[in-house]
Amino acid sequence: MAFFTHQIRRGFSSSAVRSLVIKHVTIIGGGQMGAGIAQVAASTGHTVALVDTSDDILKKSIKAIEGSLKRVAKKKFADKPEAGEEFIQKVLSNLTTSTDDTAAIQHTDLVLEAIVENLKIKQDLFGRLDKLAPAHTIFASNTSSLRISEIASSTNRLDRFGGLHFFNPVPMMKLVEVVGTSSTSQETFDSLLNFGKVLGKTPVSCKDTPGFIVNRLLVPYNMEAIRLHERGHGSKEDIDIAMKLGAGYPMGPFELADYVGLDVIKFIMDGWNALEPDNPLFAQSELLNKLVAEGKYGRKTGEGFYKYK
Ligand SMILES: NC(=O)c1ccc[n+]([C@@H]2O[C@H](COP(=O)([O-])OP(=O)(O)OC[C@H]3O[C@@H](n4cnc5c(N)ncnc54)[C@H](O)[C@@H]3O)[C@@H](O)[C@H]2O)c1
């Protein structure tokens, strides 16, 4: 796109559609999501600094990225293993890791946060980095359930703050929700949309409302399936079969809940329930609360609605 060739590095372009070309990305949080986003950004020619709290965690993040890249290379370069190895090395050469977030953001175009889902911790992080990051740098959060405007409120760059909500596993999932608050500038929003496209994703525009689009529809659907079962209207197996065969969904709601994590679903619902206690879509489920209290979070703990070996 000509538009990109006319962009000014680390500054907003003067073309009709003003937006920042994001070349250097700092990702804070090297867990499931952060590592996936780092991999995709490095694979699409960005230089990426991946930040976490310890070298041990970062070693695990790089190991996960290498494993994923091997699978990508095996598919992409099935008949040319050397080209596959070259691809892996090229991507890894775009990646650095650090436990020092203030050093990592010195020359960055985008700070994308994928740390623990806790408002106060996210606010503290951005509030601190806001004072140290270059003026042009855009801040974005990958939060699933918190308001972007509340996270951004600890900074003085409300116009350069937005949401980039990726889906797990990031290298496989094609969607990114791009979230603008009432203060996000058009330039910032366009920059984030373009960044999503350059990553090879399909971006959709979202308002800063709970759950954006996908989770706002999916989580209440999941909860209603659980409550349907609690009311004795169907076994979980039958509800899963019904939604797979009747609605063409690849997973039933109980299988999906176990995949996402019952703790994650409960955490999201508790937050929305606190915001809108009278909304029946956000009503509690005793069964879900019980499973979470027993540490049965789904696939990741070996048991949720179903058992996993
Ligand atoms: N897991 C999903 O399916 C999913 C999907 C979309 C969005 N999200 C969102 O992405 C974010 C991260 O989720 P995840 O599943 O990758 O979590 P995770 O627990 O796998 O990873 C979080 C990482 O952040 C690190 N961390 C915590 N505080 C930090 C700090 N102050 N500085 C640097 N690193 C810090 C942790 O050490 C950990 O490695 C959350 O906001 C979550 O809501 C998750």
pTM (two decimals): 0.91
Instruction: Assess whether 150 carries a catalytic annotation.
Output: no
Measured CA to CA in angstroms, residue 3 lies from 69, 137, 274 at distances of 30, 20, 44
Please tell me which residue in 13, 46, 141, 165 is annotated as part of the active site. 165
Fold agreement between 2-207 and 215-301: no
Report yes or no: 158 and 152 within 8 Å, Cβ to Cβ: yes
CATH of 2-207, one of 3.90.1150.10, 3.40.50.970, 3.40.50.1460, 3.40.50.720: 3.40.50.720
**Counting atoms of ligand 1 from 1, which one is nearest the CA of 57?**
39
Please tell me which residue in 13, 19, 43, 144 is annotated as part of the active site. 144
C-alpha to C-alpha distance for 309 and 303, rounded to whole angstroms:
9
**Counting atoms of ligand 1 from 1, which one is nearest the CA of 117?**
41
> What per-residue confidence (pLDDT) applies to 14?
45
Average pLDDT, consecutive stretches of 10 residues, N- to C-terminus, the chain (309 residues): 34 57 97 97 98 98 97 93 95 98 96 95 98 97 95 98 96 97 97 98 96 95 96 97 98 96 93 92 95 96 96
Please tell me which residue in 24, 113, 145, 177 is annotated as part of the active site. 177
CB 123 less than 6 A from any atom of ligand 1: no
Instruction: Assess whether 229 carries a catalytic annotation.
Output: no
Q: What residues contact residue 100 under an 8 Å CB cut-off, 6+ apart? A: 51
Distance 143 CA to ligand 1 centre (A): 9
Q: What is the CATH T-level fold of the domain 215-301, as seen in this structure? A: N-(1-d-carboxylethyl)-l-norvaline Dehydrogenase; domain 2 (1.10.1040)
C-alpha to C-alpha distance for 20 and 148, rounded to whole angstroms:
20
Instruction: Assess whether 165 carries a catalytic annotation.
Output: yes
Domain residue ranges in the chain: 2-207, 215-301
CB 53 less than 6 A from any atom of ligand 1: yes
Report yes or no: 109 and 20 within 8 Å, Cβ to Cβ: yes
Query: Whose CA is closest to atom 18 on ligand 1?
Result: 31
